[in-house]
Amino acid sequence: MASKFPYMRHRLVEAYLTAVGYYFEPRYALARHLYTKLLMVWVLMDDTYDAYGTFEELQCLTDAMKRFDISAMDKLPADYLKLVYKTVLDVHDDVEEMFTKLAEAFLEQARWVHEGYQPTFDEYIKTAVISAGGNSTMAYVLMVMEEADEKAYQCLINTDNIIYKAINLMCRIYNDIATNEREEKRGAVTGTICYMKQYDVTREEATEAFKDIIEAAFKDLKQGFLRPTPIPREIVIRFVNYRRLFTTFYINDIDGYTIPEETWVEDVVNKMLIHPIPI
């Protein structure tokens, strides 16, 4: 992928580390491999929409994503878009609906920038909780688990599910705290700016409010986990593991996936994957 898409974040080791965070048990070796592959394609889409494609190109790509058919590739205006589209189709056949929603959310955020529109925080969060990828990530996690069935997937996409809501919100807000200032420098619409304008607060006050949102969402996650759940706890624990990954990759309000050398992620990689403790 590095030769085909030089603009994307090539963080293969970090992606694998997240897979270890979801399922560390030895029996999930294949799941870790498959999830890493899925995550890398999600990053490709994120970086294409977020930092590389023109708005007109992204409109064409989103139209193709809605069709989710190889014949739509011929209508894409650039060779790199055709490669992106084919890569997505090759890997994501089983989560077509989820990935189409993700593409639409990416495009909506690109539209705000293209039109110079400043959404309220309430408007922003409705789209941004989808573009953050929490729901699509958990779909990938379940998709490669033998224990997960259609009932587990339907439970995941049920927007009234307290665990689902908590994970999506935490995923978005953790990312916003860590990446907003960097994204603002390239003209992106960010959650921090939306919150500051809607509530007339400073950046520091917005950040503190975001941390309160995360804490409340974490309480909801724990409440949902402690209740009797319609799917096995063996599956539900993956949602809890997802939250644990947030505290690994977003320590000190830095995006450890994108810039691992500035966080302890690089050290974790060395200790877990390169020089692990002998057993």
pLDDT over threshold 90, residue 53: yes
Please tell me the predicted confidence (pLDDT) of residue 275: 82
pLDDT grade, residue 73 (50/70/90)? Answer: very high
76-85, 108-117, 200-209, 218-227: range with lowest mean pLDDT: 218-227
11-52: pLDDT as tens digits: 889 999 999 999 888 888 988 988 898 889 889 999 999 989
Please tell me the predicted confidence (pLDDT) of residue 94: 60
pLDDT grade, residue 84 (50/70/90)? Answer: very high
Task: Compare 277 and 68 and report the one with higher pLDDT.
Answer: 68
Task: Compare 115 and 268 and report the one with higher pLDDT.
Answer: 115
- Identify the CATH class of 12-268: mainly alpha
Task: Write the single-letter amino acid at 225.
Answer: F
pLDDT grade, residue 82 (50/70/90)? Answer: very high
Please tell me the predicted confidence (pLDDT) of residue 95: 65
Q: Stretch 89-118: mean pLDDT, rounded?
A: 86
Please tell me the predicted confidence (pLDDT) of residue 157: 67
State the distance between the two ends of the chain, measured CA to CA, in whole angstroms: 34
Most confident by average pLDDT, 142-146, 153-157, 182-186, 235-239: 182-186
Query: What does the angle CA 212 – CA 214 – CA 215 come to, to the nearest 5 degrees?
Result: 65
Domain locations along the chain: 12-268
132-164: pLDDT as tens digits: 888 778 777 877 787 788 777 777 666 678 888
Q: Stretch 197-225: mean pLDDT, rounded?
A: 94
> What's the chain's average pLDDT?
88
